[in-house]
Structure 1
Amino acid sequence: MSEEKTVSNVKPFKNLGAGVVGLAILLVVIGAIVAIAANLRLRFDLTEQRLFTLSKGSKQLLGKLENDVTLKLFFSDSARDMPMGLKTYARQVRDLLREYEVAGKGRIRLEQYDPKPDSDAEEWAQRYGIEPQQANPFGAPVYFGLVAVCGDHEAAIPGFSPRLEQSLEYDITRLVARVAWPEKPVVGVLSSMPVLGTPQNPMLMMQRRQQQDRGWAALRELRADYTLREIAPDVESIDADVKTLVVVHPKSLSEKTLLALDQFVLRGGRLVALVDPFSLVDLRTTMEQNPMAMQMGGGAEPSTLGPLFDAWGVGFDTTKVVADLAAATKLNDGRGGVEENPAFLSLGPDNLSRADLLTSPLSQVMLPFAGALEARKTEGVVFTPLITTSEADACLVDAATLQMGFDGLKHQLVPDGVKRVLAARLQGTFKTAFPNGIADDGTNAVPDRLKSGEGAVVVFADADFLHDSFCVQMVNTFFGQIPQPINENLTLFGGAVEQLAGHTETIGIRSRGKFNRPFTKVDELEVAAMKQWQAEEDRLEAALRDTENRLAELQRQKKGSERLILSKEQQEEIARFRQTQAQTRRQLKDVRKNLYRDIESLGLRLKVINIALVPCAVACFGLVRGIRRKRR
């Protein structure tokens, strides 16, 4: 009996020991899995715009690195005054920098520093140019910036801001390229407007009566990667070290200057041309300089490259502006209301060429009062559209009527079913526009003129889209006042210059996607309503003109003092018009009500889908699973 009791007492201890050993083995296995998984970067980006994945262009550029690049992230992680929003954004920046480290395949090394007060890390942050900011007036300064170091070359992003998340990847990749390939190409800038800023008057600056004009933000962005050289509008030759030339609103260029541009392209120079049939920026500048210009017959002057376009097979009518009902922009009408202006174009993915690397990553571009480019058959030059209007809703309107506002072009909004080209790429063998020279060329500094040559040109039929008013807004952040893009105009222009003068890989770096999504269906409803509204309004105005003509005819039939009294026929005519006017206004109200009803109906359907569909799907799944288990 005693042996049986001993055996029975040992079994529980054996079972307990086996359980402990099994649990220990399980914990070891789980720990091994966690350790292995921590070193594996298995990520799945399920967002439509690939918000958490490096662009192809970034990966290609990192793959070409010949020297090691160290990325030093300075972030005041331990600062109690660091705003929570910046801490969250810092995690996103860290995740993206780790993607660079992986894609660099050993060429990119990430270092992180917490610059605490009076520490070596803070001293290095200040030495590199990372800007300290006071999150709390009574606290220590905080830092959030990035430094790239490659050999003896270094460059920095002084401060990150969540408001510039859209350009984060582009900024980091450009930072890497800046230190890996430090030589800056020379880019010439020729313009009839002060795009690079205006010279400062020292006396006014000392008296603080004149603020510094740093030029347009789009050109300021280029200074980080290129050496910008201002080219006078009356230049007669382009310097040999200028490989790329940006021409903005070239109005009234002389033949000698046009010849200089002609020879620049034929010698292999790359040209980015921004011409404009109606420059709102130029009009504003003219009015500021001479308020009486409009009354004296002046105003906005168009710009073109004239004979060069003719030689290159490009048609450009400086008297016409493109209108597109499908790309109308909502603007302040000056009376406290909002109106949709179809000549102020807000263009989306459908308007941007998906086949070209320059425009395929873009989704939102704004072109105010752009012209139309036309491809004419020219041997040797390939004309590739980059930006186009819709086909069903576009037309041309007179540029002169735009000075009268939106009312001046209403009657011209008749879509003609033609898709207009707003920007294009020209590539191939160009022929000179001056085969016989020019009338007076004695001082032109081109000893042996070229007759033809290989070249590349990107033409935009608008110049205003590059002005700060139409592409950025200045915002105040913890790291100072910085320009925040309101669309992708800067990316478009920067990509064009990169493609012709810089690293072509950076063109493939799309701007980071946006979390807010456009309501395309609502936009389609608004376009249809606008067409119907325009038709009803045109009918009302036609009836008004017809009534006025009949009233005038009845008035002419009167004699003497009868003209001062309304006849019975005139009274009846006025009554009929008022009745027509009231009916038309009711119809216009019905159009607006139907639009709102359709939008509300669409919103209701979306709410039902978002709120009810998922619970219903889960409930159905539970019922099906329960029935199957019951059958088993």
Structure 2
Amino acid sequence: MSRSARSLTALALAAILFVAVNVLAQNTLRGARLDLTAEARHTLSPGTLNLIGGLREPLALTLYVSASLADEIPALRTHGQRVRELLEEIAARADGRVRLTVIDPEPYSDAEDRAVEAGLQPVPLDRATGRPFYLGLVGTDGTDRQETVPFLDPAREAFLEYDVTKLLHTLTETRKPVVGILTDMPLAFGPGGLAEAMRGGAKPYAVYQQLRALFDVRLLQPTLTAVDPDVSVLLVARPAGLSDDTLHAIDQYVLKGGKALLFVDPWAESDLDHGADKAATLPALFDAWGLTMDAGRFVADPRLAISAGTGRRTVPYPAWLALGAEERDRADVVTADLGMINVATAGSLGARDGTGITLAPLLTSSPAGQLADVALVAGRPDPEKLLTSLAPQGRVQVLAARVNGRLRTAFPARDGVKESTAPANLIVVADSDLLENRFWTDGRQPFAGNGDFVVNAVENLAGGADLIGLRGRAGSTRPFTLVEDLRRAAGQQVLAHEQELRRRLNDTERRLSAIQAKVPPGSGTLLPAEEQAEIDRFRAEVARIRKELRAVQHTLNRDIEHLEATVKAVNIAVVPLAVAVGAVGLAGWHARRRARRVRE
């Protein structure tokens, strides 16, 4: 056999081997993978591994997925496969302590009845037949206690591992997490306090009611000298007049690994009991922990300003801010799926250099945010005066953040822990007014996501270090960035030409109107030759610009199509071919090596 014939035969065998290995791997190595993605999307996080490694009793997971419907929609099929692979990886790593069952709930079947009874939420995808699509997860412990994820929404794919790990964590809990609340606010009674509540004029704050529905909530005395060790999360809201003993208790709780959610404020608008001093801060703790917040200044932001009435008219009030998607961390589970968050005279958080402390912002201002003196909102604030006093430029200000790093005690002379032995589990919010009903709910229906933000933060902290460490991951949809860049370039160039075209068209219409105005209606007078020629020139110019615009669009579309075709060719043909060629080369190298050994 000639050398060329041997090469062709080897290439054909390599191709056959390549296909065979893929088929074999698909059927026998479903749970095994080599994760080469940039974000390690298919590798379990340390928090998840710690949780399943510490399971003390077996858990059962049942995935209800309408497989036949998912096969008809590529995006759902991909997401469903991602869900299944994640669950299979968890079951494989749990050494038998997690049992996975996958069920396709056919319409009107017992399986569908069980899915409905468990609280799963189907999505009506097939409108012709009305067949619902299920993609939900049911977890069960040894006592048949159930927890569910009603629908594993593809839009939350970045938090898929978090949602599953949270379900497992909840199943391992034997009681509700305890949330200890230390506050100067009448959260349990509502505005006006106990006296107003007894007269029927007030009821508990909505956020307090939400917390009580999900957690074991305890109101702590402001004179406490120690935080009970069974408190899962310490929530401190609008601290005012706390003694050193109470501050020491907070300090030691956090340094010993306790989870805390702190709401401080440079100007607590809801505080009606402390006169002109409305600052609610923790300066002793912040100084020792390396945190900063100027108690005399608040964040003003004209871009995010909520409208307020001045008596004369409604104007933007830059002390009250409506924070949208761009002002929250969409990769953190606490803030990922929130609606608008409303804050009032919030402070700006920072970390001092040299302390080893860093902040992971959860909520921020826009780039127009800037610090303003609280004197501007004292008494009867004037929104117009505040708006005109702001500088034209600002910068992004941090309004809420996770605190990362090891903390030192604020009371080194006292007995107790001097430095935390592990990174802090701490979220700080530089506004307490966001807890007030008036900023997010009318008592019946929420109009902002303030309540969800508080519940998410408490829930995340209560989940322990394993859940706290889980952040969002990149989704399975991977856009071609070069293609997208070309599309953006095309849009910018086309827009520029369109704007030029509109400008010239408008100019032509003005000139034409001016020329026609010189001719009385019905007079039959003809336009002078020079003016008629000018109109003709403008029409020719418009035609030329339109032609150029079409040419630019055609050229850029051609570049995009060429790049897309090239990328597809590389993914579909070149990479497998390169693998095959590499296999052939490796086989040839081994053959030559064996031949040399025989000759020797």
TM category (shorter chain) comes to: 0.5 to 0.7
1:412 partner amino acid: L
The alignment status of 1:611 with 2:580, answered yes or no, reads no
What is the distance in 2 between the residues matched to 1:321 and 1:159? 41
What is the distance in 2 between the residues matched to 1:416 and 1:619? 44
What is the distance in 2 between the residues matched to 1:178 and 1:192? 31
Which residue is 1:156 aligned to? 147
Which residue is 1:395 aligned to? 370
Q: Deviations over 1:246-276 (max 9, x none)?
A: 2123245466644543554566644331212
**1:103, CA displacement in angstroms?**
4.5
The alignment status of 1:450 with 2:442, answered yes or no, reads no
What is the distance in 2 between the residues matched to 1:453 and 1:620? 61
**Aligned residue runs from structure 1 range 61-72, under 5 A:** 61=50, 64=53, 66=55, 68-72=58-62
Quick check: 1:245–1:270 contact (8 Å CA) kept in 2?
yes
2:147 partner amino acid: A
Which of 415, 428, 448 aligns to 1:459? It is 428
1:177 partner amino acid: H
1:413 partner amino acid: A
**1:397, CA displacement in angstroms?**
0.6
1:450 partner amino acid: D
**1:454, CA displacement in angstroms?**
3.4
Which of 153, 159, 173 aligns to 2:165? It is 173
Quick check: 1:153–1:179 contact (8 Å CA) kept in 2?
no
1:148 is paired with a residue of what secondary structure? strand
2:373 partner amino acid: D
Which residue is 2:409 aligned to? 430
Which of 216, 228, 231 aligns to 1:239? It is 228
2:407 is paired with a residue of what secondary structure? strand
1:427 is paired with a residue of what secondary structure? coil
**1:183, CA displacement in angstroms?**
6.2
Quick check: 2:306–2:320 contact (8 Å CA) kept in 1?
no
Question: Aligned in 2, Cα 1:618/1:508: closer, same or farther, shift over 3 Å?
Answer: closer
What is the distance in 1 between the residues matched to 2:433 and 2:38? 32
What is the distance in 2 between the residues matched to 1:130 and 1:608? 49
1:73 is paired with a residue of what secondary structure? strand
The alignment status of 1:97 with 2:84, answered yes or no, reads yes
The alignment status of 1:304 with 2:281, answered yes or no, reads yes
Quick check: 1:320–1:398 contact (8 Å CA) kept in 2?
yes
Quick check: 1:197–1:214 contact (8 Å CA) kept in 2?
no
Quick check: 1:198–1:215 contact (8 Å CA) kept in 2?
no
The alignment status of 1:56 with 2:45, answered yes or no, reads yes
1:430 is paired with a residue of what secondary structure? coil
**1:610, CA displacement in angstroms?**
6.8
Which residue is 2:461 aligned to? 497
**1:493, CA displacement in angstroms?**
2.8
Q: Deviations over 1:124-164 (max 9, x none)?
A: 4466455799999x999986632113433643226217486
Which residue is 2:391 aligned to? 413
What is the TM-score when the length of structure 1 is the normalising length? 0.52
The alignment status of 1:384 with 2:358, answered yes or no, reads yes
Q: Deviations over 1:548-577 (max 9, x none)?
A: xxxxxxxxxxxxxxxxxxxxxxxxxxxxxx
Q: Deviations over 1:461-487 (max 9, x none)?
A: 23456789989999xxxxxx9999799
What is the distance in 1 between the residues matched to 2:100 and 2:216? 29
What is the distance in 1 between the residues matched to 2:176 and 2:235? 16
Paired residues, number: 460
Quick check: 1:266–1:431 contact (8 Å CA) kept in 2?
no
**1:72, CA displacement in angstroms?**
0.7
Q: Deviations over 1:155-206 (max 9, x none)?
A: 322621748626443222210222246566533233344668979xxxxxxx
**1:391, CA displacement in angstroms?**
12
Question: Aligned in 2, Cα 1:377/1:53: closer, same or farther, shift over 3 Å?
Answer: closer
What is the distance in 2 between the residues matched to 1:85 and 1:300? 63
**Aligned residue runs from structure 1 range 444-593, under 5 A:** 450=415, 453-455=418-420, 456=424, 457-463=426-432, 493=457, 497=461, 502-510=464-472
Which of 128, 135, 138 aligns to 1:147? It is 138
Quick check: 1:55–1:508 contact (8 Å CA) kept in 2?
no
Query: Could you list the runs of 5+ residues in structure 1 that have no partner in the other structure?
Result: 1-25, 200-208, 287-292, 436-448, 475-480, 526-602, 622-632
Query: Could you list the runs of 5+ residues in structure 2 that have no partner in the other structure?
Result: 1-14, 192-200, 493-548, 568-600
**1:238, CA displacement in angstroms?**
2.8
1:215 is paired with a residue of what secondary structure? helix
Q: Deviations over 1:233-253 (max 9, x none)?
A: 565543242254121232454
Q: Deviations over 1:438-462 (max 9, x none)?
A: xxxxxxxxxxx73653344543323
Quick check: 2:318–2:386 contact (8 Å CA) kept in 1?
no
Quick check: 1:324–1:395 contact (8 Å CA) kept in 2?
yes
What is the distance in 1 between the residues matched to 2:366 and 2:321? 17
What is the distance in 2 between the residues matched to 1:48 and 1:346? 31
What is the distance in 2 between the residues matched to 1:114 and 1:512? 28
Q: Deviations over 1:59-86 (max 9, x none)?
A: 53466254554211235779xxx99999
What is the distance in 1 between the residues matched to 2:53 and 2:407? 28
Deviates more, 1:415-424 or 1:89-98: 415-424
Quick check: 1:304–1:318 contact (8 Å CA) kept in 2?
yes
1:146 is paired with a residue of what secondary structure? strand
Quick check: 2:293–2:347 contact (8 Å CA) kept in 1?
yes
2:559 partner amino acid: L
2:156 partner amino acid: E
Quick check: 2:234–2:261 contact (8 Å CA) kept in 1?
yes
What is the distance in 2 between the residues matched to 1:417 and 1:235? 40
Quick check: 2:48–2:466 contact (8 Å CA) kept in 1?
no
1:320 partner amino acid: R
What is the distance in 1 between the residues matched to 2:74 and 2:471? 25
Question: Aligned in 2, Cα 1:344/1:211: closer, same or farther, shift over 3 Å?
Answer: closer
Question: Aligned in 2, Cα 1:486/1:45: closer, same or farther, shift over 3 Å?
Answer: farther
2:411 partner amino acid: T
Which residue is 2:297 aligned to? 320
Which residue is 2:11 aligned to? none
What is the distance in 1 between the residues matched to 2:235 and 2:314? 38
Which of 346, 350, 364 aligns to 1:370? It is 346
Which of 182, 190, 193 aligns to 1:190? It is 182
1:111 partner amino acid: T
2:357 is paired with a residue of what secondary structure? strand
Deviates more, 1:302-311 or 1:261-270: 261-270
1:508 is paired with a residue of what secondary structure? coil
1:169 is paired with a residue of what secondary structure? helix
1:272 is paired with a residue of what secondary structure? strand
What is the distance in 2 between the residues matched to 1:607 and 1:220? 59
Question: Aligned in 2, Cα 1:244/1:215: closer, same or farther, shift over 3 Å?
Answer: closer
What is the distance in 2 between the residues matched to 1:210 and 1:605? 68
Which residue is 1:539 aligned to? none
2:304 is paired with a residue of what secondary structure? strand
**1:279, CA displacement in angstroms?**
5.0
What is the distance in 1 between the residues matched to 2:39 and 2:554? 25
Q: Deviations over 1:570-609 (max 9, x none)?
A: xxxxxxxxxxxxxxxxxxxxxxxxxxxxxxxxx9999789
